[in-house]
Amino acid sequence: MLGEAWHAMGANRLRTFLTMLGMVIGVGAVVLMMAIGQGAEASVKRSISAMGSHLFVVLSGPPRMGGARTATGNAPSLNVRDANAIGELYGVVGVAPVTMGKGQVVYASNNWNTDIIGTTAEYMDIRGWGLSAGYPFSTSDTRSATRVALLGKTVVQNLFGEEDD
C-alpha cells in the first residue's frame, strides 16, 4: 500500500508538489497568525500595566459628550479637602488632585498650544512617571504656590528647538 502511494506521488509530481506546497503554506499561515495574536496580546497587556492597575480616577462635574456638556445645573465638584479625605481612606496609598485645561505656552517668538495639568507633587509618583531632565516640583512648592512648570518632550521641541539645556 505504501509502495502504491510512492508510485502515485512519483507519477504525479506536479500534483504532489502543489499539495505539499499548500500544506506548508497553510501550516505557516497558522503559525504566523498565532504569533501575531500572541504579540498583540502581550502589547495590550504591557499597555494596560503601564497605566497602572492600582490607579483609580475620580472625576467631578457634569459629564461631557464630544466636548459638550450633557447636563445642566449645579453638579457637585471636588475640592482639596475632598482629596485629603480620600487620601485618609484605608488602602489609599496616594492622592493627587488634578485640574486640566488647554493653553498656549510661549518662549521668545515660538508658541505652542498644549494641555495644561495643575496638580500636586505626588502626581508623578502616583502615575509612575519620571523626568528625562530637570527636577520635579516638591510639596513645599505646592504649599507655597510656587510657579513651577514641567514640560513634555513635544512642548520642549516646539518651543526651544535644538537649544541646549
Q: Per the domain annotation, does 86 fall within a domain?
A: no
Mean pLDDT, all residues of the chain? 83
Reported confidence tier of residue 74, pLDDT bands at 50, 70, 90? low
Q: Per the domain annotation, does 105 fall within a domain?
A: yes
- Alpha-carbon span 91 to 19, nearest angstrom: 63
| Class of residue 120 by CB neighbours under 10 A (exposed 0-12, middle 13-18, buried 19+) | buried
Q: Per the domain annotation, does 120 fall within a domain?
A: yes
| Strand residue runs (E) in 29-127 | 64-65, 68-69, 99-107, 110-118
Q: Per the domain annotation, does 67 fall within a domain?
A: no
- Alpha-carbon span 105 to 89, nearest angstrom: 37
Ranges 49-58, 62-71, 93-102, 135-144: which has the least confidence: 62-71
Residue 67 has pLDDT above 60, yes or no: no
47 & 99 share domain = no
* Domains contained in the chain, number: 2
What percent of the chain lies above the pLDDT cut of 70?
87
First to last CA, the chain: 80
- Alpha-carbon span 96 to 23, nearest angstrom: 58
Q: Per the domain annotation, does 144 fall within a domain?
A: yes
Q: Per the domain annotation, does 61 fall within a domain?
A: no
| Class of residue 95 by CB neighbours under 10 A (exposed 0-12, middle 13-18, buried 19+) | buried
Q: Per the domain annotation, does 78 fall within a domain?
A: no
- Looking at residue 117, the DSSP 8-state letter turns out to be E
| 64-69, Cβ contacts within 8 angstroms, sequence gap of 24 or more | none
Reported confidence tier of residue 56, pLDDT bands at 50, 70, 90? confident
Q: Per the domain annotation, does 79 fall within a domain?
A: no
- DSSP, residue by residue, 18-41: HHHHHHHHHHHHHHHHHHHHHHHH
Provide the residue range defining the domain that includes 126. Answer: 94-160
pLDDT tens-digit series, residues 133-148? 888 888 888 888 888 8
Q: What is the pLDDT of residue 73?
A: 56
